[in-house]
Every structure is written in structure tokens, then in C-alpha cells.
A and B are shown apart, each in its own frame.
Chain A
Amino acid sequence: MTTFNITFKDLNKSFNQHLLFNIPELTIESGRCCLLSGINGSGKSTLLKIMAGLETPNNAEIYYKNIKLDWKSACKQIHKKIIYLHQTPLMFDASVADNIKYGMRKQGYSRNKIQESVKMALQWADLEHLKDNNARLLSGGEKQRVALARAYVLSPEILLFDEAFSNLDTQGRTRIFEQICKLKDEGVGIILTSHELAHNTSLTEHHMHLENTHLKIFSKENNIEHFNNIKTPELILVNA
């Protein structure tokens, strides 16, 4: 299995002359899970949105399959492979099933393929009983599952979860945690953000910390002590 990877070099972003971050080099790849931490306002969401091609960086060199791409053509690659999930997901004013169909419809999949995938995704996310409900009327946790299923049907290479565990109770967290594990086993790359400087050891191989415009990167291979010292309170619950 070839891994998908994309490298950003000299990535920087500022809002109104105020530098948010400046990252010399950053590679994201499929099949791995990475935690991105940083305090409120450090730029985690902005960084994820840039990775998903939703926000434009002030400067960036992008390498995909060892070829340097300009931002526009990189976006074309990114949009198909990397999906960003909002902290509080937005539901389109339509049924759960139609929400899940959205991406496949826009990308021109055949009717049969859509029907098949949606059925499978509804099952996967345990949403069959809600499939005809208006998605905007669901609870926060259910919306999160619809958002995940909506991304899952598109078989992305990388999923970017912005604060995947906030707004969820213990059961909801366990559920999302299990789904993330399954996704990872299927070879999907995952980046999770958290504003709590903490980390779960079983799920993630990398830890990135955004602080004062710098991004520190730790990997399990090289910084095992770092990994043993921090735990995410929210994930401890899951492991217990």
C-alpha cells in the first residue's frame, strides 16, 4: 500500500500583519494519527483549514509525490483527499441520508454507487434509524457522527478533526474514539486538535504543539519520554 503524503515548506500565515505561525517543514501522511495541541487562538483551526485548502496561507511551498505544486493546483489535490471536520459540524438543511450523499453527488458518482455507499455509511455510523430525519434537528453527538459518515463515504486519505472530543459525553467520546481507531486501521491519516496540552499514547504516533508561532513536532520513536508524560484527560476515560 502506497502512503499518501503531502509536505508543506515555509508555511506561514498571518492575519492583519499579525503572524500566527511560521512552519519550516511539515509532512502529513495517511495511516498515522497525530495530535495537534496549542492554547486557544494559537492557530490550530487555521492550520487545519490551510491543510484542507479552505484557507490560503501567506506563503507555502507544497510538495506532493515529490513534485512542487503551486497553491492552486495543490488545492485541487487537497480537496479530493483531505477532509476538514468542524469543531461543531454544520448540517445542511436536508435529511441525514442527503447530508451523507452530498459530497458524492457533487463529485458525480453514479446513483447506484451513492445508494450503496450511503447504506454502508449509515450502518457504520449507527445512523440507520435517523436516516430520514432533518440533520439540523439532531443532537450534537449525532451531528458529529453524520459529519464523520459524510466524510467517510468519500474515502479520504486524511481526516482533520477539529476538537473531535469537545461537546461529547463519555459515551460519545468512546464512540468517536473507536471510529477513529477503525479509520486508522483502514489506513486513513488522522490529525486531532486539542487545546489541552495532553496526549493519548495508544492512538497517536506524533504530537505537534503550536506555541508562539512555532510548531514543535515530537514522534513516538524519538521522544518516548515525552509521550509517557502526557495524557489527554478525555482519552483516559476511554482507555480506563
Chain B
Amino acid sequence: MLILHCPYCGIHADETELAPGGEAHIRRAGPGSDDTEFENYMFARKNPKGVHFERWRHVHGCGKWFHAARATDTLEVFGTYPAQTTEPPEEILAHIRKRRPDWKGFQG
């Protein structure tokens, strides 16, 4: 069972308390964007086998959205952080690099 730390209420919540919300840090395509940009924004997904950044919501808790850095091939959790950011904080990235030296790095 996946256990994630909610950065808002500070508790370790297990999966049954949380709702998964898909890939994080997706940049919205605005008015004037072409079909390919909209396709990328709405449908194309990284779906990596390895390090992944995703959105989670603490539905049966404080109700807030947060982000998690996770490995999809081992279920290891690297850390969680508040959702009000366009990229993962440096301490999370440093931790991932330590755990996975050949990781290619965050790509927005």
C-alpha cells in the first residue's frame, strides 16, 4: 500500500485516503495554440517506467491537492511537496539524484 505524506496537514496518509490525479507539471495550452499543442496538453503523457511526478488529492483528509515524486518501477516515494509550483523543489531533485544516479533529470 502506498503511503504519502500530505504537505498541508502533515500526516502520513495511506492510499485509501487519497485520490490519484495523474501527471503533474503539465503546462496548459492557451488560446491561439495549435492542434498539436492541445493534443500534447490534453492527451500525450510521459508515463515513464521510473521517476515520475504526479498530482494527488488528500480527499478523505484536508481535501487539498499536492504533488508526489515516485518511482513507478519500485513504488519508492522520493517525497511530496505543495502543488503551488511549476517544477519540483531542489531538495526533492537532489534526493532523486542520490537514489538514482543515472536519472536524466526533470523535464518540464
A binds B: no
What is A's interface to B at a CB cutoff of 8 Å?
none
